[in-house]
Amino acid sequence: MTCFCGQSVPPSNPYIVQALDGRVRYYDYVENEVRGETNVNDGVVATDLRWVAERLGWLVTFADSTFCFFPDIGGGHGLGGEPGDLEWSCEGAHGFFGVGAEVWCVEYGWVGGKGVVATGGDDGRLRLWDWGEHGGFEEVKGRGGGMEAGGGVTRLERVEGGGGEGEVDFLVGSYDEAVRRVRYCTERRALEVLWETEVGGGVWRLERFPGWEEGGEDVWLAGIMYGGAMVLGSDGRKRGGVEKGFESMVYGAGWIKEGEEWKCVACSFYDMRVRVWDWEDK
């Protein structure tokens, strides 16, 4: 059984939502038991999921070029659902010449009471979708409808506080060994690449420093598959924090607090190692 991704259930409580092979489940890590499970895409590997507070539910992506949304009917205490709980889905979201490609990641923005969903696929595309008030996903066409990278788009993160009125910013990681910041203007329906930084490896994880809202450094930790990890500013400049002492691909990266100090943490795949380091010392 493969678990590609997981998130804690808001508000803070002892539950993690895990996306597995076609199923999404609530796992109580205190009691070490599954509290609820729903089958949303039978037998297909789920690759990413996002909590959508404005609609009280989850966006989930899959390896069969599909992404979907389903509501959280359990209130954080178990799904207890069946496949019928699936509310909206989009098939064939990414592909090569009519052949479906994996949807690796999903993110969303909420601008002026309307939703825009961003998906990244193995076809090297970032695509944007209007999320209608009454459901359904409609691809944004024209110059605002997406961006092409030199490899699969593997990570998307919304940049809170980025952009002006009617705009939403995303950080984009890709197999083409670059991190980009893009801005989507809902009024002009235009997408703009603000900056691009090469990092020396495919980018599988991007995590913002948790202390930025309290006046701390506005930086991001990038997990770079065969390139280790490094810290980037929201302006795209490399800020240090480089850690290359991994003997395997880096698939996970984040921040951990030890006492009053925030430190970087990352895990590597085949050797199953976790490393913790102080980014300001590197």
The answer to whether 67 touches 61, Cβ cutoff 8 Å, is yes
Determine the Cα–Cα distance for residues 96 and 110; give it in Å rounded to an integer. Answer: 29
Determine the Cα–Cα distance for residues 50 and 5; give it in Å rounded to an integer. Answer: 10
CATH class belonging to 5-202: mainly beta
Integer angstrom CA distances of residue 23 from 17, 37, 273: 10, 7, 27
- Residue 12 pLDDT > 90: no
Determine the Cα–Cα distance for residues 267 and 273; give it in Å rounded to an integer. Answer: 6
Interstrand relation of 125-131 and 146-148 (parallel, antiparallel or unpaired): antiparallel
Q: How far is CA 177 from the centre of its chain?
A: 17
- Residue 92 pLDDT > 80: yes
Per-residue pLDDT averaged across 173-184, rounded?
Answer: 96
- Residue 65 pLDDT > 70: yes
- Residue 86 pLDDT > 70: no
The answer to whether 204 touches 147, Cβ cutoff 8 Å, is no
CB atoms within 10 A of CB 71: 15
pLDDT value for 187: 83
Amino acid (1-letter code) at residue 41 = N
pLDDT value for 15: 60
Backbone angles phi, psi at 83, to 5 degrees: -55, -25
Q: What is the pLDDT of residues 213-262, one digit of tens each?
A: 787 889 999 999 989 999 999 999 999 888 888 888 998 899 998 888 89
Percent of the chain residues topping a pLDDT of 70: 85
Cα 243–Cα 249–Cα 255 angle in degrees, nearest 5: 50
pLDDT value for 77: 44
pLDDT value for 19: 65
Per-residue pLDDT averaged across 99-122, rounded?
Answer: 91
Question: Any bridge partners for residue 62, and if so which?
Answer: 46
**Mean pLDDT of the residues in the chain:** 84
- Residue 212 pLDDT > 80: yes
Q: Where are the chain's structural domains?
A: 5-202, 203-282
- Residue 17 pLDDT > 80: no
